[in-house]
Amino acid sequence: MNIGIDPKSDVSPQAIAAKLAERLAFY
């Protein structure tokens, strides 16, 4: 299950939380 977190992207807690929030907002 891909949640859109790429190793080469910023993996800081804030970045991860932002990505998760955006994903949840679409569903």
In 3-state terms, what secondary structure has residue 22?
helix
pTM above 0.85, yes or no: no
For residue range 1-27, what is the model confidence (pLDDT) as tens digits?
455 656 555 567 788 888 888 888 776
Torsion of CA 15, 19, 22, 25, to 10 degrees: -120
CA distance linking residue 27 with residue 10, whole number of Å: 23
Distance separating alpha carbons of residues 17 and 1, to the nearest angstrom: 17
Structure tokens at 4: 């859109």
